[in-house]
């Protein structure tokens, strides 16, 4: 660095006024050469950083690069921006030390984050693998950091023209995309939906929701189809899926018999699903009391006795890998849990009214399941196995009415809580709204049977 500049920098009285002058008046080739060598970032000479007041009341929007952030905030110019990730067994200090920040800079940086609201907590819970964008300070450029510490937020740390470090939290810009996917089932619902681009957690939501009324082992046929509508939240900086919101509409067409469910929030703010007449998607007893995504195909596997209900076989078999969780089909009390002859490891639940359900050939019974204990619908009670008289891993599932096995395919099980009469009008309004959104998307659907519609930007909060 030229001596004249050192003098300028060391003269504290002139410092404030001259620094801006120095940045502008330096032969422009000096800066551009220096920066061009250091990184590929383009400097817009008309948009040099000037100090601007920072609005601390609102959380502002994050930017894609540190350079854009320094411009936005009016921080000291940065150059040579690099990227690393927080490694396991590292904290911010050791990560910064690894990338050659001086211990003095590290302590100033950590201190400035510490002073943020929740700063102490943020520092101690930084996720492993977190993106760290950084610029180490030089004599003329400032140190800066951008930490993508949570799904939606970044911490930006910068050096001002007096070389002090400051920190602030920014919200990452996101976009909501309403998405409609139509798919045809070729092998299993699970594989076909994944192939159609349904995110896995949305698919599990769909399977849980349909598992009350669909027997995924017997009722799904090649050629059956489904429709699903949900909202994706896209991280605009990474251009990647950040999260999905609960499904708003789902339908499945089983050999011409169509089931469709619409989302409606209950009084506690939880999403519930109903058909267009307001009947709950839930049944007091589930048709598929096992994770439907784990079911192995009923075709081509002779070892699995995947049987339907007959005079000789008074239950339904679900083929799934050993260890797949088995769910309580409904709320109830455990009546039996233990070895039961050819049934192997066996659980029976007494539900309200006249129904009981039984689960056989388990590899393991959940340790909390004891005779007399109370279980709620959907809770794991045991795991698929092949205990007792069985030729392959599967769940043997029985529904009993007045202590007699009945065919779950044929009984009309009582529904869960339907939409109350006084709320029907509001519900119907919601259904129309959902159908209108669907109609808009249907007009845009492509040959991959996917349509999206960006309908809002995330509000800052």
Q: By the criterion CB under 5 A, which residues form the site for Zn ion?
A: 315, 317, 396
CB-nearer residue toward Zn ion: 1 or 312 = 312
Nearer to Zn ion, 271 or 305 (CB): 305
> Measured from the CB of residue 313, what is the shortest distance to Zn ion in angstroms?
6
Smaller CB separation from Zn ion, 135 or 357 = 357
Q: What kind and span of H or E run contains 85?
A: strand 82-85
- State which residue, 119 or 308, has the beta carbon closest to Zn ion: 308
Q: Which of 165, 157, 85, 156 is nearest to 126 (CA)?
A: 85
- What is the nearest approach in angstroms of Zn ion to the Cβ of residue 213? 21
State the number of CA atoms in the 13 A half-sphere of 378 facing the CB.
10
Taking the complex as a whole, the smallest distance from the CB of residue 215 to Zn ion amounts, in Å, to: 14
The residue (of 67 and 348) whose beta carbon lies closer to Zn ion is: 348
* Residue 335 main-chain phi, psi, to 5 deg: -100, -30
| CB-facing half-sphere around the CA of 349: CA atoms within 13 A | 30
CB of 345 to Zn ion, least distance (A): 14
Instruction: Give me the least distance between CB of 339 and Zn ion, in Å please.
Output: 17
Residue nearest to Zn ion according to CB distances in the complex:
396
Shortest Cβ distance from residue 316 to Zn ion (Å)? Answer: 7
Residue bearing tokens 């030729």 = 391
Q: What are phi and psi of 192, to 5 degrees?
A: -65, -35
**C-alpha pair distances (Å), 123 with each of 57, 90, 148:** 22, 11, 12
Q: Which lies closer to Zn ion via its Cβ, residue 24 or residue 339?
A: 339
For residue 279, how far is the Cα from the chain centroid? 28
Burial of 405 (0-12, 13-18, 19+ CB in 10 A): middle
Angle between helices 3-10 and 12-25 (to 10 degrees): 130
């Amino acid at each position: 660095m030229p001596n004249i500049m050192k003098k300028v920098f060391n003269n504290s009285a002139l410092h404030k006024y001259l620094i801006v002058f120095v940045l502008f008046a330096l032969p422009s080739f000096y800066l551009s050469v220096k920066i061009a060598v250091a990184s590929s970032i383009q400097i817009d000479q008309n948009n040099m950083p000037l100090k601007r007041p920072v609005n601390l009341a609102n959380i502002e929007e994050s930017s894609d690069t540190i350079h854009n952030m320094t411009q936005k905030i009016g921080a000291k110019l940065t150059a040579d921006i690099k990227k690393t990730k927080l490694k396991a067994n590292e904290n911010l200090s050791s990560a910064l030390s690894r990338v050659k920040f001086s211990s003095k800079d590290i302590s100033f940086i950590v201190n400035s984050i510490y002073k943020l609201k929740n700063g102490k907590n943020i520092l101690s819970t930084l996720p492993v693998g977190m993106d760290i964008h950084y610029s180490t300070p030089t004599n003329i450029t400032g140190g800066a950091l951008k930490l993508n510490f949570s799904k939606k937020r970044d911490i930006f740390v910068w050096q001002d023209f007096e070389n002090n470090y400051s920190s602030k939290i920014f919200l990452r810009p996101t976009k909501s995309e309403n998405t409609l996917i139509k798919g045809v089932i070729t092998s299993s619902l699970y594989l076909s939906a994944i192939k159609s681009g349904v995110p896995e957690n949305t698919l599990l939501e769909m399977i849980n929701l349909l598992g009350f009324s669909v027997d995924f082992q017997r009722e799904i046929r090649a050629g059956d189809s489904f429709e699903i509508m949900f909202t994706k939240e896209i991280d605009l900086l990474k251009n990647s899926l950040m999260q999905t919101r609960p499904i708003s509409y789902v339908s499945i067409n089983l050999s011409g018999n169509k089931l469709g469910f619409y989302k409606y929030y209950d009084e506690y703010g939880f999403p519930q699903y109903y058909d267009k007449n307001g009947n709950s998607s839930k049944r007091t007893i589930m048709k598929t009391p096992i994770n439907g995504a784990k079911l192995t195909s009923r075709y081509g596997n002779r070892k699995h006795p995947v049987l339907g209900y007959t005079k000789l076989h008074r239950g339904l078999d679900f083929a799934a890998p050993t260890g797949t969780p088995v769910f309580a089909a409904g709320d109830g009390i455990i009546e039996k849990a233990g070895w039961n002859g050819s049934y192997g490891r066996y659980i029976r639940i007494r539900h309200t009214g006249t129904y009981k359900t039984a689960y056989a050939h388990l590899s393991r019974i959940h340790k909390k399941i004891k005779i007399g204990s109370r279980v709620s619908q959907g809770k794991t009670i045991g795991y698929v196995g092949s205990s007792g008289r069985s030729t392959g891993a599967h769940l043997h599932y029985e529904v009993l009415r007045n202590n007699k096995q009945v065919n779950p395919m044929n009984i009309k099980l009582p529904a869960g809580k339907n939409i109350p009469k006084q709320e029907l009008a509001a519900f119907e309004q919601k259904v129309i709204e959902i159908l209108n959104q669907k109609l808009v998307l249907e007009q845009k659907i492509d040959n991959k049977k996917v349509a999206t519609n960006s309908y809002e930007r995330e509000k800052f909060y």
